[in-house]
Amino acid sequence: MDFKWLEDFLTLAETRSFSRSAELRGVTQSAFSRRIRSLEEWMGADLVSRDGYPVTLTPEGVLFRETAEEAVRMLNARRVEFRDHSRARGGEISFLSLHSLSVTFLPGWLMRLKAAAGQMTSRVKPENFDRCIEALSEGGYDFFLTYAHPQVNIPLDPARYPHLVIGHDSLAAVARPGWPAEWLTEGMPLLQYSRGSFLNAMTRIAQEQQGAPRVYVAHIDEASMAEAMKGMAIAGHGIVWLPRLLVGAEIEAGRLEVVAPELPMEIRLYRNPSRGRGITGRVWQVAGELGENYADSE
């Protein structure tokens, strides 16, 4: 059931006219009529009588009007309460993020951002690359956090979606130490991301670097989840190119070792300028300052 159907019904109950109600609701009369019919189908009863003019409510419609008025009043009151509470806390910012960045880079960076920009709430949606691009273009999120490399296309118009470089990482080919000697002669079994995924494109570039080992595909991860691929590598299934931020602890602990030259990557923050609220401008400014400080510390 769509909330706007309740508002449609209450408008019709007030005006007793489909044409006038459609005008007030900013839709065509046919669209408005379909929405009222959809509400009636959802309720399982006719709410208005269409036999004459002006429109009258059926007995079920009279009863439902009280329910609809109370529901709309309560929902609107709660909405105002939540928005006031959000403003009191400094507002809300929303992020799209690649899965691996949401568990490695984002938590610490977000703490530094909030410390510098002031109190606010945050909402993060981890997704694959293509879905992040789609969701940012649809306008429902403020920012997009992603890896980037000059040889991988990011299909966002730079004039419409500016970006900041806020950090760096590298793609490291890792395997469990003590791998079989025949891997050197027969080729190393490769744990491969699904075709079309962002990390699959990055891996192809990494494999073309001088010093990269000869490989053959031994396993394909259809979900393209870097965390799952790390588990496969630790178990000894083969090698996989993973963000170093994701496997740094395992490398240091000796559970994984790097077996090829690493591929440098930028960590970029893209902004949706159509969501130009004051808080997003402040976050953008602070993110740029944090990015400059990060570059100076390297």
User: For 232, phi and psi rounded to 5 degrees?
Assistant: -65, -40
What pLDDT, in 10s, does the model give residues 173-219? 999 999 998 898 889 999 999 887 889 999 999 999 999 989 999 98
Alpha-carbon Rg for the chain, nearest whole angstrom, is 27
Residue 92: half-sphere exposure toward Cβ, Cα within 13 Å = 12
The span from the CA of 50 to the CA of 54, in Å, is 9
pTM for the model stands at 0.68
Write down the pLDDT at residue 235: 94
For residue 137, the SS3 value is helix
Please state, in angstroms and rounded to a whole number, the distance separating the CA atoms of residues 149 and 21.
Answer: 53
Residue 222 is predicted with a pLDDT of: 77
**Amino acid in position 242:** L
Tell me how far apart the alpha carbons of residues 167 and 101 are, in angstroms, rounded to a whole number: 11
pLDDT of residue 230: 94
Buried/exposed code over 167-191 (b: 16+ C-beta within 10 A; e: otherwise): bbbbbbbbbbeebeeebeeeebbbb
**Triad 268, 270, 276: Cα angle to 5°:** 150
Phi-psi label, residue 196: left if phi above 0, alpha if psi -120 to 50, beta otherwise:
left
- pLDDT tens for each residue of the chain, 298 residues long: 788 899 999 999 999 999 999 988 888 888 899 999 999 999 999 999 988 888 899 999 999 999 999 998 888 887 776 666 555 555 788 999 999 999 999 999 999 999 998 878 888 999 989 889 989 988 889 999 999 999 999 999 988 899 999 999 999 999 999 999 889 888 999 999 988 788 999 999 999 999 998 999 998 887 678 889 999 999 999 999 999 999 999 999 999 999 999 999 999 999 988 776 678 888 999 999 988 765 555 5
Q: pLDDT value at position 262?
A: 95
Q: Determine the pLDDT at residue 100.
A: 92
Q: In the numeric block, which tokens belong to residue 116?
A: 């510098």
- Measure CA of the first residue to CA of the last residue in the chain; give whole Å: 54
Q: 168 near 266, Cβ under 8 Å?
A: yes
Of 125, 135, 137, 265, the C-alpha closest to 209 is 265
